[in-house]
Amino acid sequence: MTAAHWTPTYGDPFEPVPYRPARPSAAESLATAADLRRRMDTRRTVRMFATDPVPEQVLVDAIAVAATAPSGAHQQPWTFVLIKDAETKQRIREAAEEEERISYEGRLGEEWLSALRPLGTDAVKTHLTDAPYLIVVFQQRYFLDEDGTKHKHYYVDESVGIAVGMLITALHLSGLAALTHTPSPMRFLSELLERPQNEKAFAVIPVGYPADDCVVPNLVRKSIDQVLIRR
């Protein structure tokens, strides 16, 4: 099925259309939810990637899943830049490591450094070149009409954050590992990737298979009783 081409609907009237999804049985819902919970509980953030190739269509489909995320006023304020080119990845790594060195040498502050210590992170970001793909997510702060009129996007941080969560979920359920990397500041990404002024970098996500010798921090997630309140 070919999707209709999206254009901004700013100011258009409300036009309802029917929505009648199939309703699963209670047993089907319970089984699906339990399976998703089990599979997602195996997800880990990975910093050690194999250089083995990954089918690009898997990433394209995962990005398509992310683009179904809800967004403020349905403005869909995101752009996903999929990077395979080794030279581009190297340039991103060099710029990111320069910012990270400054951060780890004092810009982060001792409290933040102390919080990071159990994760074993440092300023060296080999994952940015080892992973076969990088997905750089940009948030669109506003859009321009054809006549140049600027329109603000609403709830941009929340909308893009939800989309990134859905992206990470789709990648994991497709058998891939990912890392949410947020070098600060990230202005260099807009310059390197030649993005327009209305876009601001949100995250860099290396994607691939875990390396054969991959290790992850020995961490424990909060229990459901610690995160869920029933009323």
Kindly report the CA angle at 44 between 38 and 49, in degrees rounded to 5? Answer: 135
- Tell me 103's DSSP state: I
Q: Does residue 184 fall inside a structural domain? A: yes
Question: Chain-wide mean pLDDT for the chain?
Answer: 93
Q: Compare 144 and 108 and report the one with higher pLDDT.
A: 144
Q: Does residue 27 fall inside a structural domain? A: no
pLDDT band at 3 (very low <50, low <70, confident <90, very high): low
Q: Does residue 25 fall inside a structural domain? A: no
Question: Does 1 have pLDDT greater than 70?
Answer: no
Residue 224's Cα: distance from chain center in Å? 24
Q: Compare 100 and 217 and report the one with higher pLDDT.
A: 217
What is the Cα gyration radius of the chain? 20
pTM of the model: 0.93
Burial class (CB in 10 A: 0-12, 13-18, 19+), 145: exposed
pLDDT band at 159 (very low <50, low <70, confident <90, very high): very high
Please report the pLDDT score of residue 6 as a whole number. Answer: 81
Query: Of 16-20, 120-124, 187-191, 204-208, which gets the smallest average pLDDT?
Result: 120-124
Question: Does 60 have pLDDT greater than 80?
Answer: yes
Q: Does residue 49 fall inside a structural domain? A: yes
Q: Does residue 190 fall inside a structural domain? A: yes
Number of domains in the chain: 1
Please report the pLDDT score of residue 230 as a whole number. Answer: 97
The CATH number of the domain holding residue 154 is: 3.40.109.10
4-12: long-range contacts, CB 8 A cutoff, minimum separation 24? 6/76, 8/75, 8/143, 8/145, 8/151, 9/74, 10/145, 10/151
Average pLDDT over residues 219-227: 95
SS3 assignment for 122-152: CCCCCHHHHCCEEEEEEEECEEECCCCCEEE
- Under DSSP, is residue 49 helix (H, G, I), strand (E, B) or coil? strand
Tokens of 27: 């047993």
Q: Does residue 118 fall inside a structural domain? A: yes
Domain range spanning residue 121? 44-209
Q: Does residue 16 fall inside a structural domain? A: no
Please report the pLDDT score of residue 224 as a whole number. Answer: 97
Please report the pLDDT score of residue 185 as a whole number. Answer: 84
From CA 16, how far away is CA 86, in angstroms rounded? 46
